[in-house]
Amino acid sequence: MNGERGFMDINKNCLYDMEFIHEQIAKVLAKIKICDDSVNKDELEKKIVRYYTDKFDSFTAEHFQYDFIDLFCGAGGLSVGLEQEGFRPIIAVDKDLAALLTYRFNRPWLTEENLIHDDIRELVGKDIFPHVPVIVGGPPCQGFSVVNKHKKENDERNALYKFYVHAVKQSRPKLFLMENVEGILKLYNEIQSDFANIGYTVCEPLILSPKDFGFPQSRKRAFILGINNDYEHMTSELFSIFKETVLSKMQGPKYTLWDAISDLPELEAKTLKNSTHVESKKWGYTVAGISATSTEYTQLINEGIPVQRPLLNHRSKYNNERDIQIYQLLKPGEKSDAESIQEINPYKNRADIFRDKFDKLVADEPCKAITAHMYYDCNMYIHPYQARGLTPREAARVQGFPDDYFFLGSPNEWYRQIGNAVSPLMARVLANGLKCVLKRMNVDE
């Protein structure tokens, strides 16, 4: 997905690459072994291909008003929210191939030429980024993360935002929006200076969490808006418009973890070792048949997609007997220091470090922040009522991805993609703010 760039223009009546969709579905199903004969893979493939054919047959680009570039795009959480508010991605960049495959699968009107599979550091000095109104993206944040206990003082990932600066300098957008963990604000003065040197004013960061907008997750992130100095005479006004538009959507806690996941099928933890591609009704499926469930929350995240839709990426991780027993003994809200698990807790002698190693979630509260740590294990994300960790689909529900958003790669890569993503629900709120700013800019031109 790299090489010489020849970006395809996405026309109003754009075509899509159904061959790519069909190919990816076939590859996924070819790997899977259904151990209980609960699914006929041939029939399932036909149903899923038909679903996406019908979906994309009805797609047009009439909805889109503004183009944007998504740097460090991952699986596309930011892009989902922007698209829902009328923004169209024309270029997406990421070095994670599985994430880019996910990004393309869910946007088959983009061609391979619109996606750059590369480390953005390798793109400096290359004439790649065309002019667009908006650039968005979240440079990898592990170097800033407060939960990264092994972070290095001069982690090279901390400087990745500088390559974001390069892209902005080349594209000259009216606006850019950078997302990251709060730790990036340690570099805020440096970020201000770097962008000032290329003609942009960086505004006061907004520290926002989905739960403050009624969404079912507690996940604080910093959002930094940059404004082209061509609009220097109205920078304060534009930032006020953005800030007021975004903050006006705040409503405090509304949806809970249970609102997000209660309608999904019950599962058991997988107990078969070395069985990545083995699936069953009790362990869940990468791809299940078409189903129809509707709650107030699913109506929110599934805006514009059919009620009859596939169930995707809803399958459990492997757990040993000891961990399953721990999951059963813990009560919602309890952690590794709970009295009930001390006899079998492998971390009991290091409670000062591993108090949160096991954490059983509370159903009637917003979920803790979904993170890429789920790639390793889900001990910190134990289902409130079932003795297992959250599935990738449950994590995606909490984040706010639509139910027909299909994650490709290995099951662990699904977790990483979902955990690294910006919440699409938060992205929708921010996109509304960007749109209001662009409308004001257009009036001034």
Which residues are designated catalytic? 141
d(CA 371, CA 377): 11
The secondary structure element, H or E, covering residue 66 is strand 66-71
Number of helices followed by number of strands (H, E) in the chain? 14, 12
Closest CA to 360 of 386, 395, 339: 386
C-alpha radius of gyration, the chain, whole number: 22
Which residue blocks in 92-134 are alpha helix, DSSP H?
A: 97-105
* Residue 373, token pair as written in the block: 């740590």
Beta strand extents in 73-217 (DSSP E only): 87-94, 115-117, 134-137, 175-180, 200-202, 206-208
Work out whether strand 87-94 and strand 66-71 pair parallel, antiparallel, or are unpaired.
parallel
Encoded tokens for 237: 């006004």
Q: Within 10 Å of residue 310's Cβ, how many Cβ atoms?
A: 20
d(CA 125, CA 123): 6
- Sorted by sequence, the CB contacts under 8 Å of residue 81 that are 6+ apart come out as 422, 423, 424, 425, 426, 427, 428, 429, 430, 431
